[in-house]
Amino acid sequence: MQALFANCCLVELVITGVPSVTFPVHIYEPVVERTCRLLKMNKTTLSSIKIQRSRATQAFIDRVFRSLNLVVYRRPGVSNFLVTDSWFHDGFLNLASFKFIDSLVIKSSNVTWDALTPIIMNTSCRFTHLDLSYTTRFSSMHLEGEANFSYFRVLILTGNNLRPENFYGWENGLTKMTSLVELDMSENPIGDGGLSRLILCLQGAQKLCDLKIEHCNFSHEGLVELLQFVLESNHLKSLSIARSDLWEWSTEVATSLATFLAHSTIKTLNIEGIGLGDNGFAIFREELPLVVNLSFIDVSNNNGAAETTLFTEEFISKALGIVDIKASNNLIQEESLQHLKATLAGRYEFNPRIETQIYDLYKHSDRFKCAGLGHPYRLLENDIQ
C-alpha cells in the first residue's frame, strides 16, 4: 500500500473520523503516523485537505501541516483547507500553517472565534474564500484591525446568529472587502437594522455578483431598501431572499418585486418560500413589466394555487431569455398545469424546464404527485449566454 501511494499524484486528501486524543495511544498514534506519511509522499501534488467528523487536537493538525512543510516561507501546493462536523479539543492551528491557504472552510464545527481571530486578522494571511457556516457565535466576533480584507472574494457566514448589534464589530472589515464577489449572510436574524448596516458596508464592493440574504427576519421595508441597493449596483447578477417571512406584506412584496424587475439587470432571482400566496401571485402577474431580464426564477413553496400557473404563463411570455423556472410545492391543480403545458407547446419553439409539484385538491387530497411539461428540455444555441 505504501508503494502504491508513493507513486500516485494525490490532489485531495479527506481525513474522516480522527479519534480523540483520549483514545489509547496504540489506537490514536498509528492514525496520525499513517496520515503524515501519506502527506509527505504527496506533498508536491496535494492541493486540498478536508477533515470531517473528527475530534482532532491542535497537535494532530500541526503535525499534518508540518508534514507538508507549510511553515517554510514559500508558496506550497496546498491552498484549500476544509473542516466539517468536527470538534477541536484545544484551540486550532498555529498561525504559520495558514500563511499559504487561499480557501478556509470551517462548517458545523466546534471552533471558537477567539481561536480564529489570530488567523483571520493576521496580515500575513491572504484568504480569498472564507466559509464559517454554522460554526461560531457572534457575541464576540469582530473584524477590526489591519487584515488583508481586500483579498476576500467569497464570504459565507450562514447560520451564525448574527444580529444587528454585532455589525459594529464588522463594519471595518466588510467595508474593506472591495474584491468581494459572493456574500452569503443567510439564516442570521439581522432584521431591517442589520440589513441597513450591511448595505452601507457593501457600497464599495463593486465586484459583488452573488448576494444571498435568506431567512434574515427583515420586513417589507427592509426588502425595499435591499432591492434599491441591487438596482444601484449594476454588477449584481444573482439575488436570493428565499425563506424570508414576508407573508404579512404579500401584496406589497409582489408590487415591489414587479417594480424591481422592470429596471433590474440581474439574471437569477430566488424568492422561494417568502409567503406570496395566491393574492401575491395575482398582483405580481398583473404588475409584471413588459420585458423581464431574468434567466432563472424560483417561486417554490409560496402557497400559490391557480394564480401560480397564470403567473408562470405570463412570466414566460415576458422573460424571453428564461432558461429555468422552479415552482414546486405550490397548491396547483393538475388541470391548470395541463392548460399551461398546452399553451406553451403551441407558442414556443422550445420549452423552459418548469419544475412543478402538483397538489390536486380534489382527487388526491392526501398526497403530492409530480408532472412535467411532457417535452424534453432543449436549449437553443443562441440562448447560451
pLDDT per position as a tens digit, 215-250: 999 999 999 999 999 999 888 999 999 999 999 999
> Can you name the residues that pair with 155 across neighbouring β-strands?
130, 183
Look at the block and give the residue holding cell 422592470: 262
User: Is 328 domain-assigned?
Assistant: yes
Output 258 or 326, whichever has higher pLDDT: 258
User: Is 160 domain-assigned?
Assistant: no
User: Is 269 domain-assigned?
Assistant: yes
Whether residue 63 is predicted with pLDDT greater than 60 in this model: the reply is yes
Output 77 or 76, whichever has higher pLDDT: 77
Domain stops at, among 114, 136, 158: 136
Question: What φ, ψ does residue 251 adopt, rounded to 5°?
Answer: -70, -40
Determine how many CB atoms are found less than 10 A away from the CB of residue 296.
Answer: 18
What are the angstrom distances between the C-alpha of 103 and each of 71, 100, 207, 355? 17, 9, 19, 34
Mean pLDDT of 368-379: 32
Confidence of residue 384 (pLDDT cuts 50, 70, 90): very low
Condensed to tens digits (0 to 9), the pLDDT of residues 338-357 reads 777 776 665 555 555 555 54
Question: Among residues 351, 262, 250, which one has the least CA distance to residue 299?
Answer: 250
Condensed to tens digits (0 to 9), the pLDDT of residues 273-292 reads 999 999 999 999 999 999 99
Domain stops at, among 136, 157, 186: 136
What are the angstrom distances between the C-alpha of 56 and each of 9, 114, 133, 218, 355? 26, 18, 19, 38, 43
Answer yes or no: are the C-beta atoms of 269 and 298 closer than 8 Å: yes
Do both 130 and 30 map to the same domain?
Answer: yes
Give the Cα separation of 320 and 294 in Å (integer): 8
Confidence of residue 376 (pLDDT cuts 50, 70, 90): very low
- Extract the C-alpha cell encoding 312: 408562470
pTM of the predicted protein model: 0.81
User: Is 372 domain-assigned?
Assistant: no
Do both 242 and 360 map to the same domain?
Answer: yes
Give the Cα separation of 160 and 194 in Å (integer): 14
User: Is 157 domain-assigned?
Assistant: no
Q: SS3 of 238, please? A: strand
Beta strands (DSSP E) in the chain are 12-16, 48-52, 80-84, 103-107, 129-131, 154-156, 182-184, 210-212, 238-240, 268-270, 296-298, 324-326, 353-358, 369-371
Provide the pLDDT for residue 45: 76
Provide the pLDDT for residue 160: 83
User: Is 162 domain-assigned?
Assistant: no
Do both 347 and 238 map to the same domain?
Answer: yes
Whether residue 166 is predicted with pLDDT greater than 80 in this model: the reply is no
Provide the pLDDT for residue 256: 97
Q: Is the dihedral of CA 135, 136, 138, 142 positive or negative?
A: negative
Q: SS3 of 182, please? A: strand
User: Is 197 domain-assigned?
Assistant: no
Confidence of residue 365 (pLDDT cuts 50, 70, 90): very low
Do both 132 and 229 map to the same domain?
Answer: no
Whether residue 23 is predicted with pLDDT greater than 80 in this model: the reply is no
Residue range of the domain that includes 60: 1-136
User: Is 188 domain-assigned?
Assistant: no
> Can you name the residues that pair with 354 across neighbouring β-strands?
325
Domain count along the chain = 2
Look at the block and give the residue holding cell 487536537: 57
Q: SS3 of 288, please? A: coil
Question: What φ, ψ does residue 223 adopt, rounded to 5°?
Answer: -60, -45
Condensed to tens digits (0 to 9), the pLDDT of residues 107-165 reads 887 776 667 777 777 656 678 898 988 876 554 566 666 667 888 899 998 988 888 87
Whether residue 372 is predicted with pLDDT greater than 70 in this model: the reply is no
Domain stops at, among 74, 101, 136: 136
Do both 111 and 229 map to the same domain?
Answer: no
At 243, which CATH number?
3.80.10.10
Task: For 127-166, give one letter per residue: b (16+ CB within 10 A) or e.
Answer: bbbbbbbbbbebeebbbeeebbbebbbbbbbbbbebbbeb
